[in-house]
Amino acid sequence: MKNPVVTSWTESTRNLFEPVIVLVITFAAIVKLSQSLYRYNLRRRSRARSGTMSSSSSSDNGTGVQARRRSRILSSKLYFDIPNSKVPLIYSSAYDITFLGIEKLHPFDSSKWGRICGFLLVDNVVDKNCIVEPLEASKNDLLVVHSEAYLNCLKKSANVAMIIEVPHVAVFPNCLVQQKVLYPFRNQVGGTILAAKLAKERGWAINVGGGFHHCSGEKGGGFCAYADISLCIHFAFERLNISRVMIIDLDAHQGNGHETDFANDSRVYILDVYNPGIYPFDYEARRYIDQKVEVVSGTTTNEYLRKLDEALEVSVHSFDPELIVYNAGTDILDGDPLGRLKISPDGITNRDEKVFRFARKRNIPIVMLTSGGYMKSSARVIADSITNLSNKCLIDTGKNMTAT
H or E stretch including 19?
A: helix 4-55
Q: Hey, how many other C-beta atoms are within 10 angstroms of the C-beta on 283?
A: 10
Please give the backbone phi and psi of residue 127, each rounded to the nearest 5 degrees, phi first: -90, 140
Tell me 108's DSSP state.
S
Task: Write the single-letter amino acid at 300.
Answer: T
Query: Is the distance from CB of 163 to CB of 224 less than 8 angstroms?
Result: yes
Query: In angstroms, rounded to a whole number, what is the distance separating the alpha carbons of residues 222 and 278?
Result: 12
Rg (CA), the chain: 23
Q: Which of 106, 146, 168, 214 is catalytic?
A: 214
H or E stretch including 361?
A: helix 345-361
Residue 253 designated active-site: no
Cis bond upstream, residue 88 (ω within 30): no
Task: Write the single-letter amino acid at 351.
Answer: R
Could you give the angle at the alpha carbon of 170 between the alpha carbons of 168 and 171, nearest 5°?
80
**Alpha helix positions (H), 56-111:** 58-59, 65-75
Distance of CA 124 to the CA centre of its chain: 27
Residues near 17 by beta carbon (within 8 Å), at least 6 away in sequence: none
**Alpha helix positions (H), 56-182:** 58-59, 65-75, 112-122, 139-142, 148-153, 157-164, 174-177
Cα dihedral 90→374→112→115 (10° resolution): -120
Query: Is the distance from CB of 229 to CB of 369 less than 8 angstroms?
Result: yes
Closest CA to 274 of 329, 326, 219, 353: 329
Catalytic residues: 214
